C-alpha cells in the first residue's frame, strides 16, 4: 500500500472538515487536487473510504480506520518537531486542548497567562459538551482534555489543578435569599433547573443529591449555563452551577447564591489524557505551568 504523508494530511482534513471543499480549503489546494488524491488513496486501500448521502459526506469503516491512522501519524510528526525544538532549547509548537463548555469561563485567561510565558506556543482550543470531549479523548485527538468529571471507564491519567465549587443559585427576589444555613430538606418543594444529563455539573449534582437522599423536583433541563441563569432570574426555579459560570456580577444578573447546608459541592477541574500518552513539549510545559 503506497500512500504519501501529504495524502494522509489531505484525508485527515476531509475527515475533520466533512467535505471535499473544506478539505481543499484546509489543505490550501484545489478541489480537483483533493478529488484526485482521494481517488488514489481509495485505489491503494482497495475499499471505499467515504460515501455521500444527501449531500453529506460520511466516512466508511475503512475511512474511519484511515483517519485514525492519519491522525496518529500526523500527531507523532508534529510532536517530533516539538521534541527537536526542545533539544535545541526552543520552547514552541502547538498545544491542542479540548475543554467542556463550563471551562470556557476561565480557561482563556489561564491560556493567556501561559502564552505570555511561552509566546512561541500556538494554542488550538476545542470547546464542547462533556460527551464531545470524552469522545475526543477516546480518539486521542488532542494533547490534553479539561473537565470536572473524568470518565471512569477509560484508562487515563488525571490531575486536579483548580477547585470547582458548585452552588445553589436563586433569583434575587427569592424568599430564601439572604437567609443563613437553609436546610437542604427545605428545598424539597422548590423546582430546579439543571444541566442536561451527562454533563459534568449534572453528574456531580446527581451524585451529591443521592448521597444526601434528596430528590429534586426538576422543572427544566438545559444544556447552557447562560440559559439556566436567565431561567433562574426569570423565576422558573433554583439551579446548581459552578461558581466559574456565575461571573463577578451576580447582582447585575438578578441572582443570589443561597447559603444551603451541604453546599457548595467540592469538585475540581482536571487535566486528563490517556495513560501512557507521550505528551508533547508544549503539553508538558502547560502541565508544569498548572502545577506551580
Per DSSP bridges, beta strands 56-59 and 93-100 are unpaired
Of 247, 187, 243, 174, the C-alpha closest to 215 is 187
Q: Residue ranges of the alpha helices (H) in the chain?
A: 5-17, 20-27, 31-45, 61-87, 107-117, 130-138, 200-211, 225-233, 281-291
For 70, the 3-state DSSP assignment is: helix
Instruction: Give the pLDDT confidence score for residue 195 in this predicted structure.
Output: 95
Cis peptide before 264 (omega within 30 of 0): yes
Q: DSSP secondary-structure letter at 111?
A: H
CATH number of 1-88: 1.10.10.10
164-268 shares the fold of 1-88: no
Distances (CA, A) of 27 to 8, 20, 39: 11, 10, 16
CB 168 within 8 A of CB 208: no
Task: Give the chain's residues under pLDDT 70.
Answer: 86-92, 249, 251
CB-based burial label for 249 (10 Å; 0-12, 13-18, 19+): exposed
Instruction: Give the pLDDT confidence score for residue 92 in this predicted structure.
Output: 67
CB 63 within 8 A of CB 15: yes
Q: Which residue has the cell 444526601?
A: 212
DSSP per-residue codes, 238-280? BEEEEGGGT-S-TTTTTEEE--BTT-SEEEEEEEEEETT----
Q: At what angle do helices 31-45 and 5-17 cross, to 10 degrees?
A: 110
Q: DSSP secondary-structure letter at 31?
A: H
Instruction: Give the pLDDT confidence score for residue 88 in this predicted structure.
Output: 64
Domain spans, the chain = 1-88, 164-268
For 29, the 3-state DSSP assignment is: coil
**pTM for the complete prediction?**
0.74
- Over residues 53-69, the pLDDT tens digits come to 888 899 999 999 999 99
CATH number of 164-268: 3.40.190.10
For 142, the 3-state DSSP assignment is: coil
128 forms beta bridges with 100
Amino acid at each position: 500500500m503506497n500512500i504519501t504523508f501529504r495524502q494522509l494530511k489531505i484525508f485527515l482534513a476531509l475527515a475533520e472538515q466533512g467535505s471535499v471543499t473544506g478539505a481543499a480549503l484546509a489543505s490550501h489546494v484545489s478541489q480537483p487536487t483533493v478529488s484526485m488524491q482521494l481517488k488514489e488513496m481509495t485505489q491503494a486501500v482497495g475499499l471505499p473510504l467515504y460515501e455521500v448521502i444527501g449531500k453529506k459526506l460520511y466516512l466508511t469503516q475503512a475511512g474511519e480506520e484511515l483517519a485514525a491512522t492519519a491522525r496518529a501519524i500526523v500527531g507523532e510528526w508534529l510532536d517530533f518537531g516539538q521534541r527537536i525544538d526542545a533539544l535545541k532549547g526552543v520552547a514552541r509548537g502547538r498545544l491542542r486542548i479540548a475543554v467542556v463548555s463550563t471551562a470556557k469561563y476561565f480557561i482563556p485567561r489561564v491560556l493567556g497567562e501561559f502564552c505570555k510565558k511561552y509566546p512561541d506556543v500556538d494554542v488550538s482550543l476545542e470547546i464542547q459538551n462533556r460527551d464531545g470531549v470524552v469522545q475526543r479523548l477516546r480518539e486521542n485527538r488532542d494533547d490534553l482534555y479539561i473537565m470536572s468529571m473524568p470518565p471512569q471507564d477509560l484508562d487515563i491519567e488525571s490531575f486536579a489543578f483548580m477547585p470547582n465549587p458548585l452552588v445553589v443559585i436563586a433569583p434575587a427576589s427569592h424568599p430564601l435569599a439572604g437567609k443563613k444555613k437553609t436546610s437542604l430538606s427545605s428545598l424539597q418543594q422548590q423546582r430546579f433547573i439543571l444541566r442536561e444529563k451527562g454533563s459534568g455539573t449534572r453528574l456531580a449534582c446527581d451524585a451529591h443529591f443521592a448521597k444526601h437522599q434528596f430528590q429534586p423536583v426538576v422543572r427544566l433541563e438545559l444544556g447552557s449555563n447562560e440559559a439556566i441563569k436567565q431561567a433562574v432570574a426569570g423565576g422558573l426555579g433554583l439551579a446548581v452551577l459552578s461558581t466559574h459560570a456565575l461571573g463577578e456580577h451576580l447582582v447585575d444578573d438578578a441572582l443570589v447564591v443561597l447559603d444551603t447546608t451541604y453546599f457548595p459541592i467540592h469538585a475540581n477541574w482536571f487535566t486528563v489524557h490517556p495513560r501512557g500518552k507521550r505528551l508533547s513539549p508544549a503539553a508538558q510545559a502547560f502541565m508544569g505551568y498548572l502545577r506551580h
